[in-house]
Amino acid sequence: MSTFNIAIIGAGPAGCMLTRLLLQAQTTSSPSSTPLKITIFEAESSPNFRAQGGTLDLHPKTGLAAMKAAGLYDEFLKYARFDGSAMRICDKNLKTYFSLSASSDGNPEIDRFQLRTMLLAGLPEGSVTWGFKLDGVEEEGGKLQLQFGNGEVRGGFDLAVGADGGWSRTRRFVDEVQRPVFSGISKYALTIPDVVVRAPEVAKLVNRGSLFAFGDGKSVTGQQLGEGGVDVGLFVQFDEPPREPLGKEEVEGMFADWSEGIRGMIRKAEMEVKVYNLHHLPEGYRWEHRKGVTLLGDAAHLMTPFAGEGVNFAFEDAMKLSKAILEGVKNGSEAMDQGIKAFEDDMFERAIHAQKMTNGMMGDMFFTKGAPRTSMQSWLVRRVSFDIRENWWAPVAYPFLYAVFYGGYSVLRLFY
């Protein structure tokens, strides 16, 4: 019986989740099913090549659903922080405009490092080929051949899946032109280790969850990490990505008139600063379908982090693409191609909603004068509208959302 040979480019959450779902399904399929051979190629030389940094939350219908489908939910619960769902949005003077208490029904947080480690541990040993950065994809004799930056060439693949992030090299095979666009915002990432001991006042501010402070087109965030530290993010605007990152003191000076509590959080953070120039793909981006190659996650629909949809959307992609691949393997080459094209068309439509929400929420807080005071209601309407959009009653609820949030914050601003 012939084997269906799959190359997955990228050992991030999307690539690992897709591999796990495919292997999980194969273990329960009939012995007569076409066997899958899956190889993950990762540009980084090892799992610990760079710090993963930060934390993320998983949502019930996407991220958590994928963890359950992959048989990893019980393992996830060992690291999940449901108290991390506590959230506070305030202005630069720590004046609160929205808050959520921690809840067992909330979206649990997990450190990025813990998530990736868990996903890699859930794969058979040797699944990832490290230190292989994709250079190009070619078709040869009905199969795909992959060229890598180290000079190696690997061939004989029936399908290549690009899960290699926003600057995907796989994407160049289906679209030679499109590159990510700078959002106008850069993130300076710092950390406060052992926050309870080193900065108890910061621990109180973050409250084991997340603090998001906005003002003057900038933001300072503090997010609890699983090992007891706090991830501190300083978000500032630039017309173009800076060629040379600013030093900590220069960035700290940009927040000189912010509250003492926020400035104290910046001061207590460790000196080493990591800089991320935030890019995204255009809203509504899509490519012309090409047989044998597809994309998922950031490679397909890179977004800024301001709505928290990135990994959740990628995990939903992985669930849907795994089903398309398994159906295609069962029903033949043409069915495979049609199924993957249908997956892409569905993904494009889903992505438009997430991109609009993310770009809108970014605009509300960074590009609206007087934010968050003037834009909190818009931010909330976007978030809730997105979350309820698949319910039959959503169109009926939208007018009430506008009335509640816009009316409520109009009254609030009279007295607050």
170-201: per-residue pLDDT in tens? Answer: 999 999 999 999 999 999 999 999 999 999 99
pLDDT confidence bin for 79, thresholds 50/70/90: very high
CA quadruple 254, 247, 116, 293: dihedral sign: positive
How many secondary structure helices (H) and strands (E) does the chain include? 14, 17
Cβ atoms 111, 226 nearer than 8 A: yes
pLDDT digits (tens, 9 = 90+) for 250-293: 989 999 999 999 999 999 998 677 889 999 999 999 999 999 99
Q: Return the bridge partners of 55, or none.
A: 111
Cα–Cα distance for residue pair 76/74, rounded to 1 Å: 5
pLDDT score at 30: 63
Phi/psi of residue 379, nearest 5 degrees: -60, -45
Query: Mean pLDDT over all residues of the chain?
Result: 94
pLDDT score at 51: 65
Cα–Cα distance for residue pair 299/317, rounded to 1 Å: 11
Question: How far does CA 294 lie from the centroid of its chain?
Answer: 19
Overall average pLDDT of the 339-367 stretch: 97
Distances, alpha carbon 366 to alpha carbons 40, 79, 185, 217, 372, in Å:
38, 32, 9, 4, 9
Which of 114 and 85 is assigned the larger pLDDT?
114
Cα–Cα distance for residue pair 284/375, rounded to 1 Å: 24
pLDDT digits (tens, 9 = 90+) for 4-21: 999 999 999 999 999 999
Overall average pLDDT of the 219-243 stretch: 94
